[in-house]
Amino acid sequence: MTGDQQVLSAKELGMVFNYLNEPDVWSKFCGTYEAIYDLLGQWQTYYNNNPNAPMPQGLNLPDLQDEWKTYINTALDQIVKNGKSTFNNMHTWA
C-alpha cells in the first residue's frame, strides 16, 4: 500500500468514528438500536405466549434481545479491530 493509500485509509476510518460521534447521528443510532431491541422483545413475548406458534420441532428460540446485543457489540468491536489492524499493517507496509 502506498503512502497516499495509507493516509486515505486512515482518513476514511477516522471519518467513520467522527461521524458516529456526532450527537445527532449517535442519538439516532441509539434510538434505532433501542427500537429494534424493544420490537424483538415484544415479538418474543408474543411468541412465548402463543404455544401454537409454528416452530420447527426440537428448535428452541434464543432470547432475541440477547442475540441483538451480541450482534451489535460484535459489529462495533469488529470495526475497532479492523481499524487497529489497518493501522498496524501501515507500519509494516512502510
- Provide the grid cell at 79: 470495526
Question: How far are the Cα atoms of 15, 54, 72, 76 from residue 36, in angstroms, in the given order?
Answer: 26, 22, 11, 16
pLDDT of residue 46: 86
Percent above pLDDT 70 for the chain: 83
pLDDT tens for 44-73 read: 998 888 877 777 666 677 899 999 999 999
The model scores a pTM over 0.85? no
- Of residues 68 and 84, more confidently modeled: 68
Q: Please state the domain extents for the chain.
A: 3-51+62-93
* Residue 1's pLDDT band (cuts 50, 70, 90): low
